[in-house]
Amino acid sequence: METRPYHKPGKYEYFHHEYEEDGECEEECECEQEEEEEVTECNKTCPTDPDLLLLRQNAKCEREAVALYLNASTKANGPLCQLFLDIARDEMLHFRQLMILLAKYDSIQAHAFKEMGISLPVSEFRKTQPATNDCYQDRLEIINILTRAIARELDAINMYQESYEKACHDDVKARFCHNANDEKLHVAELWKALMIFTKESNRPS
């Protein structure tokens, strides 16, 4: 009685002896390897981790909250003014922590931060402690403009990432990828400029 072979995709095994079907498995493996390498390269230049969408959205909200509380601090006096300033500094810390994670999972954004000299160590940052009742009133207009600019850039990056994942044509995907990476540099440039006006420390305290 003839023993029927134990079947594996592209491969037959007779007890301890096995052979491959007309070299098909080898060719398929090579194609799969090439495809995996292409996907890996795309993930490096156009990261599509879904957590990045969430991190940018949360970062946008934190940045807008900073501007809100800095504006509020100029309308109040004494303990209430200090409360608004303390909360604003908490939100600055939250924003930086989100940026650290964003750079961790998006190598393009991490490179942009590095290019701008923005230090994002893995270790925790403690919030900076400016002088009591530090007044931001003379800087509010530019702070608000820069805040809105950063929020729009983060929205744009998310839009391009989502579009990149949905697009079918390679030239369309390439355009979305290029535009998104440009916006990531803009985020780094705008944040670096904003830190001057909000007195956010770029180094661990």
Q: How many angstroms separate the CA atoms of 176 and 194, rounded?
A: 27
Residues 94 and 58 in one domain: yes
How many domains are there within the chain? 2
For the record, the structure tokens of 22 come out as 């007309």
Question: What pLDDT does 19 receive?
Answer: 36
Instruction: Please check whether residues 146 and 85 belong to one and the same domain.
Output: yes
Classify residue 204: in a domain, yes or no: no
What is the rounded CA–CA span in Å between residue 63 and residue 146?
A: 10
Compute the distance between CA of residue 18 and CA of residue 99 in angstroms, rounded to an integer.
52
Q: What is the pLDDT of residues 112-163, one digit of tens each?
A: 999 999 988 755 555 555 545 567 888 899 999 999 999 999 999 999 999 9
- Where helices occur in the chain by DSSP H, the ranges are 24-45, 50-73, 78-105, 107-115, 140-166, 170-198
111 burial (CB, 10 Å; 0-12 / 13-18 / 19+) is middle
From 40-49, 78-87, 171-180, the region with the lowest mean pLDDT: 40-49
Percent of the chain with pLDDT over 70: 70
| pLDDT at residue 40 is higher than 50 | yes
**107 and 194 belong to one structural domain:** yes
> 105 in helix, strand or coil?
helix
pLDDT recorded at residue 136: 82
Q: Is the pLDDT of residue 77 over 50?
A: yes
Whole-structure pTM value: 0.76
Provide the 10 A C-beta neighbour count for residue 64: 16
> Domain for residue 122, yes or no?
yes
DSSP 8-state class, residue 11: E
Between 30 and 83, residue with greater pLDDT? 83
Whether 1 maps to a domain, the answer reads no
The residue among 46, 59, 54 whose CA lies nearest residue 161 is: 46
Specify the pLDDT at position 205: 43
- Are residues 70 and 140 in contact, defined by beta-carbon separation less than 8 angstroms? yes
Does 196 or 5 have the greater pLDDT score?
A: 196
Whether 6 has a pLDDT exceeding 60, the answer reads no
User: What is the residue range of 79's domain?
Assistant: 50-198
